[in-house]
């Protein structure tokens, strides 16, 4: 089995991928030429628009696996792992600002990932980097809580 490409979801507007998601999908299209594995598009409300975008640009439907349940980074990773349990690594596509949090969750979940980061459009950098200032510590606190809770369970 070839290692799959996992595309993490992002905003969709009126059924179309938003600017951040388009950068992720374009990176996926570029990578799909050299990575023969399946492409997992992940996100509640995002997987189908991502699938349509990739298919419209020549990716065969049989290569695309839709994961439609995830509503967070950790769920994207957990659910993708269930879809590709034998994969040695998940080649994960996301934006540059999101890399640290993605790696943090992958480490906690024990999921080997190779991150493929795409540049965030300049106009979207301030909002997204500021968001990560809060989202990354929040994720870290959730991870610490999960580990403490697991250590205290009989």
- For 5-123, CATH number out of 3.40.1190.20, 3.40.50.10470, 3.40.50.620, 3.40.50.2300 equals 3.40.50.620
For 35, 84, 95, 151, the CA distances from 1, given in Å and listed in that order, are 11, 9, 26, 35
Q: Which pLDDT score, from 0 to 100, does residue 1 have?
A: 62
Contact call for residues 112 and 84 (beta carbons, < 8 A): no
pLDDT tier, 137 (very low <50, low <70, confident <90, very high otherwise) = very high
Average pLDDT over residues 7-34: 97
Residue 86 backbone dihedrals phi, psi, to 5 degrees = -95, 0
CA 126/CA 45 separation, integer angstroms: 25
pLDDT, tens digit, 9 for 90 and up, residues 59-93: 999 999 999 999 999 999 999 999 999 999 999 99
pTM of the predicted structure, to 2 decimals:
0.94
């Amino acid at each position: 089995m070839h290692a799959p490409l996992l595309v993490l979801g992002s905003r969709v507007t009126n059924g179309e991928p938003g600017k951040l998601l388009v950068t992720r999908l374009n990176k996926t299209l570029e990578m799909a030429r050299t990575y023969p594995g399946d492409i997992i598009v992940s996100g509640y409300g995002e997987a189908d628009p991502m699938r349509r975008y990739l298919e419209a640009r020549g990716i065969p439907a049989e290569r695309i696996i839709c994961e439609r349940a995830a509503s967070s980074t950790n769920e994207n990773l957990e659910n993708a792992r269930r879809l590709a349990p034998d994969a040695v690594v998940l080649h994960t596509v996301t934006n540059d600002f999101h890399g640290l949090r993605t790696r943090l969750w992958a480490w906690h979940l024990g999921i080997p990932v190779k991150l493929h980061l795409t540049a965030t459009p300049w106009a979207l950098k301030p909002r997204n980097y500021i968001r990560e200032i809060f989202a990354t510590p929040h994720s870290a606190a959730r991870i610490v809580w999960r580990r403490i809770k697991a250590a205290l369970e009989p």
